[in-house]
Amino acid sequence: MKYIYKQVDIQSYINSLYHDGLNKSLHFDEEIIIKTISTIGLFKFKGYVKAFRDDLSNYSIDDILFLYDLDRELSSNTFKLTSAIEIKIKTYLIEVVYSQTDNPFCYLIKENYKNDFKLSNDSLYDWEVKESRSKKELYPHYRDYYLAKYNYKNNYHEYLKDKKLIELNEKKDINYPPFHYFIESATLGTVIQLLSKLQIGENDILKLVSRNFGILKSEVFISYLLRVKELRNRCAHNGRIFNRNYRGVKAIGRYKIIRKDIYDHRLLDVYYTLYFLLKKEKEFENSNELEKKFIIENFKSENKKMQDFILNCMRKR
């Protein structure tokens, strides 16, 4: 089926909502509303409208704008939680790898992976040796330290000359860093990709790291990490967080109690995943306590009507 884009101006769209039963604003005139929606983007705004479609006549355009503001606050708060998880993952990964080897360039050795592996070009960008040393192009720390004092080629002879390496980027001069520096600068996506493949000797690095989070099965752990990555990417790219479905994960331990009352593909369940990985799941004896925490952390104002509406949306299957 061919997709046909139909351009709609903001005023016409707002009028269609009023025609369908949505109440007008009690606080703003139409000009301010149009400017606000223009800033949000009409396509994104429609995503928030969707949550109200079954009962438009009981809500106003103020409620939709409230939901948008809440979603931005929620995005900021959850991004902080995912960042805390990322720090823990990187810390544990570095500790586990160096407990298995004293080779700081182990991640470049082919035998240290379960199967063929290649580092993405994006993960190598900051380690590329560039001809220009302009401050506009390079981080001061990289310029002042690595290009001046660190040289991968010299370290290659010390640590890698007798090793078979993974496929490296031969088109560009990459100043490959020690493992811990590479991990600290890597994106969460790169870390998950590398973590899922590393195996030093007989030791599956994914399994060893997962134990630090109280998860014994590596395939379960990787699904948790991919859920965090999905949420983090939506936050980082200003995507809508609210009223979306997320990838599922298997409930384990105390998680099973929470899962009895909430749908595993909705935001509230994802919210619990973050606390679970941060080892703070004991703060919640049941889903009601989780809901209270969600409201306290993300609502700046008392709005019982919208609190009930949002919690109901997050409970829906």
How confident is the model over 4-34, as pLDDT tens digits?
777 788 999 999 999 999 999 999 999 999 9
pLDDT band at residue 278 under the 50/70/90 scheme: very high
Is residue 5 situated within a structural domain?
A: no
Is residue 126 situated within a structural domain?
A: yes
CB 61, CB 146: distance < 8 Å: no
Is residue 1 situated within a structural domain?
A: no
In this prediction, residue 231 carries a pLDDT of 95
Q: Quick one: tokens of 299? A: 């609502």
Q: Is 279 exposed, middle or buried (0-12, 13-18, 19+ CB in 10 A)?
A: exposed
Give the domain range for residue 53.
10-66
- From 181, 109, 121, 95, select the one nearest 146 (Cα to Cα): 181
Whether residues 103 and 46 share a domain: the answer is: no
Is residue 85 situated within a structural domain?
A: no
Q: What is the mean pLDDT of residues 41-45?
A: 93
In degrees to the nearest 10, what's the CA dihedral of 40, 46, 52, 57? Answer: 90
d(CA 59, CA 38): 21
In this prediction, residue 147 carries a pLDDT of 62
Is residue 4 situated within a structural domain?
A: no
171, pLDDT greater than 80: no
Q: How do residues 201-216 score in pLDDT, each as one tens digit?
A: 999 999 999 999 999 9
pLDDT band at residue 144 under the 50/70/90 scheme: low
- Lowest-pLDDT range of 183-187, 224-228, 296-300: 296-300
pLDDT band at residue 301 under the 50/70/90 scheme: confident
Whether residues 32 and 106 share a domain: the answer is: no
173, pLDDT greater than 90: no
d(CA 247, CA 109): 33
In this prediction, residue 187 carries a pLDDT of 92
137, pLDDT greater than 60: no
Whether residues 189 and 176 share a domain: the answer is: yes
Q: Which residue in the block uniquely carries the two structure tokens 């010299």?
A: 154
Q: Quick one: tokens of 309? A: 């509406």
- From 195, 200, 197, select the one nearest 182 (Cα to Cα): 195
Whether residues 193 and 223 share a domain: the answer is: no
Half-sphere exposure (Cβ direction) of 138: Cα atoms closer than 13 Å: 17
How many domains is the chain built from?
Answer: 3
133, pLDDT greater than 70: no
Whether residues 154 and 205 share a domain: the answer is: yes
Q: What is the mean pLDDT of residues 267-291?
A: 91
Whether residues 62 and 76 share a domain: the answer is: no
Bridge partners, residue 198, by sequence: 113
d(CA 192, CA 89): 9
Whether residues 229 and 164 share a domain: the answer is: no
pLDDT band at residue 52 under the 50/70/90 scheme: very high
Whether residues 184 and 117 share a domain: the answer is: yes
In this prediction, residue 39 carries a pLDDT of 94
Non-local CB neighbours of 292 within 8 Å, separated by 6+ positions: none
Share of the chain above pLDDT 90, in %: 61
Is residue 251 situated within a structural domain?
A: yes
d(CA 203, CA 201): 5
Q: What mean pLDDT, rounded, does the chain reach?
A: 89
pLDDT band at residue 235 under the 50/70/90 scheme: very high
d(CA 66, CA 64): 5
Whether residues 230 and 305 share a domain: the answer is: yes
In this prediction, residue 316 carries a pLDDT of 65
Q: What is the DSSP annotation of 27-40? A: S--HHHHHHHHHHH
Q: Among 156, 176, 211, where does a domain finish?
A: 211
Q: Among 179, 211, 243, where does a domain finish?
A: 211
d(CA 173, CA 275): 41
Whether residues 145 and 48 share a domain: the answer is: no
Q: Quick one: tokens of 139? A: 């981080």
In this prediction, residue 148 carries a pLDDT of 66
Q: How do residues 67-110 score in pLDDT, each as one tens digit?
A: 999 999 999 999 999 999 999 999 999 999 999 999 999 999 99
Whether residues 54 and 127 share a domain: the answer is: no
- Evaluate if pTM is beyond 0.85: yes
Buried b (16+ CB within 10 A) or exposed e, 181-199: bbbebbbbbbbbbbbbbbb
Whether residues 120 and 45 share a domain: the answer is: no
Q: What is the mean pLDDT of residues 269-289?
A: 91
Residue 223 CA, chain-centre distance (Å), reads 13
Is residue 193 situated within a structural domain?
A: yes
Q: Which residue in the block uniquely carries the two structure tokens 């310029």?
A: 143
pLDDT band at residue 172 under the 50/70/90 scheme: confident
274, pLDDT greater than 80: yes
